[in-house]
Amino acid sequence: MPSRNGFAESGTEKIDLTNLTPAELESFIQHLGKERFRARQLIKWIYRAGCRDIGEMTNLSQEFRKELGRIARVGFLPVETIQVSADGTKKALFRLADGETVETVLIQEKNHWTVCVSTQAGCAMGCTFCLTGASGFRRDLLPSEIAGQVTALRFGTPEGPSIKNVVLMGMGEPLLNYDNTLKAIDIMTSDTGLGISKRRVTVSTCGIAPMIRRLGEDLPVNLALSLNAPDDDTRDRLMPINRKYPLAEVLGACRDYPMPLRRRITMEYILIKDVNDSPEDAEKLARMVKNVRCKFNLIAFNEHPGCDFKTSPPERVDAFRDILVKHNYTAVVRKSKGRDILAACGQLRGRS
């Protein structure tokens, strides 16, 4: 077990350095009686060189490498399989140390790749349109397992060097695994580590209102709200979390979220045929969010086995968008990628 200082002692399980934020790694190194800059050297070896063997970190003394190797290790999240969609989207399956699995998606943009990261194995939210939620919640991911998805793809795929954006929109609710999610973002955005700009990190939530406010205080990265309904009755049916945090409370938290002047909160809206896709729904939605600085990502529902919902027809999606634009919102119809390999929004599930 770790000591009361949080670091492994002789005869206990080795501490995984990839679970430590840069600040925690500095503290760990100082705990060993070494200079703080050794932590920066370690971070660069792990996240810039992709080194997994402490013995190969050649700008550390041989004596220190041996000492460190006795009490610490560099964790690694191996890619078990990668599926490739007809549109070029890639879905990676990761098997965790305890046998649990999570899925991560690589999405090709014009000049770079975006990686859609999972924060939990399964999901407890129970959204009725989501395949991930149908599989149930199994456990939270560690910081090493969240950031490790990006690290593994960075060094294990040809697309890795071109990963520029990270969206925490995969399996799970990030704000219910709050501390581990923030630690993972810290690791991913460290200047000496993966070096991903905080401006290019987006956290997506079903609407955990108190945690939206806390995120705004602690680390105001880009925020996306999975909205999906223009009123509480509809959202209650689609997203059970709305019964605990209804729209007025969630939108109030979004209204207070400290986004820079030129950026907007993204409202993700999945259009389900005859459920939330009528012109009347669009008008209600436009009025409901009028005091929130936001933009819309409109996503036609991705059908999947076991769900009776149907995808809104393209003409209805376009009409919905046009109404929002008429009300002076930026509204984009997001093309679903990876449907043929169950890699699109709401389709991730992991598997044994």
| Residues catalogued as catalytic | 103, 345
- DSSP codes, 24-83: HHHHHHHHTT--THHHHHHHHHHHTS----GGG-TTS-HHHHHHHHHHEE-----EEEEE
Question: How far is the C-alpha of 149 from the C-alpha of 172, rounded, in Å?
Answer: 14
- DSSP state for residue 112 in the 8-state scheme: S
Question: How far is the C-alpha of 277 from the C-alpha of 313, rounded, in Å?
Answer: 9
Instruction: Let me know if 85 is exposed, middle or buried by CB neighbors in 10 A (0-12, 13-18, 19+).
Output: buried
Under the phi-then-psi rule, with left for phi > 0, alpha for psi from -120 to 50, and beta for the rest, what region is 299? beta
**CB 93 within 8 Å of CB 81:** yes
Considering all CA atoms of the chain, what is the largest pairwise distance in Å, rounded to the nearest integer? 71
Amino acid type, 74: V
Amino acid type, 54: I
**CB 304 within 8 Å of CB 347:** yes
Q: What number of CA atoms fall less than 13 Å from residue 289's CA on the CB side? A: 30
